[in-house]
Structure 1
């Protein structure tokens, strides 16, 4: 009997341009064979050039969204994105702990591609205190790692090693937890990410692709990992395999991004690069 696709939920903000946030996550889940659910933690007025406004729904309604979905749908993984405020972070952490949510992938979204801030400063401490303990994996980029560690962002792969070690120390030490530190902000023709579980430090290099259309790359990668973790469970080195496959998917989505024509700023990656060409043909 064929197993149904895993149900995966994104708890994040809404980007009306579709390049990031819940909409991008749902596209990624769908492209990678997972059934996507979405819980709205924030609303943004946003396009490919700027974020012009942010609205946070009442926290009580956010909790109701989570409770109602989790009471009915068996979820195999959770992706966390833009949460915005300390109250929202605390509410999400509380409900995830209540339901014992599996495979929580936390992308600590702090700044949009346009440079606009998406996480209140007072929410960082709450994220560290309440949400990181619920996370199976965190996926910060280098500026986000600097904020979490209260230091400047790593400026070399060597400094990334130490940062990944310190970030892992912020997660529960008694169980399997992972850090994926993304090195895309470093210069050079190659991008190196580090995957670390407290024991093995795995370098994941890839070529830097020449396109301005990279809006939502962080959202897409973390949601791809969340979609693939339950599908790789039980296999050989399942976490490493899920991350490698997620990075491959993202690289293909970036490489195909210029086929789209969305906005005049940093456009989105092509989430359905493997499907649409066949349909058009």
Structure 2
């Protein structure tokens, strides 16, 4: 009987500092027991202090990477991160159209932790039109949610209305991450229908090492979906993993700025399953 690894594909930008982007995704997928593949959409020169330069990958090369992975290895789930141009969004959307049964987690990387906008308005529109309906889950942080709903979000009780408005944009499910709302408890809100939602709360961790938290969470959710978990369970498991990664890495010094999470705090063996033929 032939066997196969559970596989997760990440489509995102590269972070030379290793804390976020493709590098954080690959670490997360591997640490949680899946085989990681990647499509790089942009190469960044960055470290824990910030981004120095960005080199966009030509859409034809993005397409070639994507087709190469999809046609051969065939992921069990897909995580999408940084898509910085409408033409790249279209390439990804067109390719995924041929694979409607593979779960997709979309982390709409639109705003930096500093609050600076990372992509143009036309790219946001392309994401909403072409990828929001395709993704099983959209995972905006607070700044990205504010951009999507076009109003400030300053209180936890505003998360539900924001999630509902993003749901109305065509999303199948929405996880609004409230990590930037400081308090004793950090709240994320998962919504998968007009009356179906769940609030996930964790104690706030005081640490400088939060670079790549969003990338890590979306990748971890994709891993759980690849393993067959229901959406609510996948988000809960991924949230617990990220909290532990933050907690166990909170006092570790990596660089002179915002350091990474401890992705390998409790690594798992590669998931293997038997093929039917």
Question: Do Structure 1 and Structure 2 share a fold, with TM-score over 0.5?
Answer: yes
Aligned-CA RMSD value = 1.8
Match of residue 183 from structure 2: 188
Query: How far apart in 2 are the matches of 1:230 and 1:48?
Result: 30
Q: Is the 8 A contact 1:105 1:226 kept in 2?
A: yes
What pairs with 1:211-226 in structure 2 (closer than 5 Å)? 211-226=207-222
Superposed displacement of residue 117, structure 1: 4.0
The residue matched to 1:41 in structure 2 has which SS?
Answer: strand
Q: TM-score, normalised by structure 1?
A: 0.90
Residues 20-99 of structure 1 mapped to structure 2, 5 A cutoff: 20-99=20-99
Give 1:137's aligned residue: 137
CA change 1:224–1:2 in 2 (3 A) is farther
Higher helix share: 1
Distance (Å, rounded) in 1 between the aligned partners of 2:241 and 2:154: 26
Provide the C-alpha distance between the structure 2 equivalents of 1:156 and 1:83, rounded to a whole number of angstroms.
Answer: 29
Instruction: Name stretches of at least 5 consecutive residues in structure 1 with no aligned partner.
Output: 277-281
Indicate yes or no: 2:249 matched with 1:253: no
Moved more, 213-222 or 83-92: 83-92
More strand by share: 2
Match status 1:263 vs 2:244: no
User: d(CA) in 2 for partners of 1:184 and 1:3?
Assistant: 40
User: 1-side partners of 2:36 and 2:17: how far apart?
Assistant: 18
Deviation at 1:2, TM superposition (A): 10
Cα offsets for 1:84-131 (capped at 9, x unmatched):
112111211111113336111000011333555432332111111111
Cα contact 1:232–1:241 (8 A) shared by 2: no
Matches within 5 A, 1:157-172: 157-171=156-170
- In structure 2, list runs of 5 or more residues that go unmatched: 269-277
Distance 1:22 1:194, change over 3 A: same
Aligned position for 1:229 = 225
Change (3 A) 1:146 1:222: same
On the 8 A contact 1:82/1:119 being kept in 2, the answer is no
Structure 1 residues 16 and 116: alpha-carbon distance in aligned structure 2, compared to 1, 3 A threshold:
farther
In the TM superposition, residue 251 of structure 1 has moved relative to its aligned partner by 0.4
The CA distance in 2 between the partners of 1:275 and 1:24, in whole Å, is 14
TM-score, with structure 2 as normaliser: 0.91
Q: Give the Å deviation of 1:247.
A: 0.5
The superposition leaves residues 55-93 of structure 1 with CA deviations (integer Å, 9 ceiling, x where unpaired) of: 111111111111111111121100000111121112111
> With CA pairs under 8 Å and 6+ residues apart, which has the higher RCO, 1 or 2?
2
Quick check: 1:274 aligned with 2:273? no
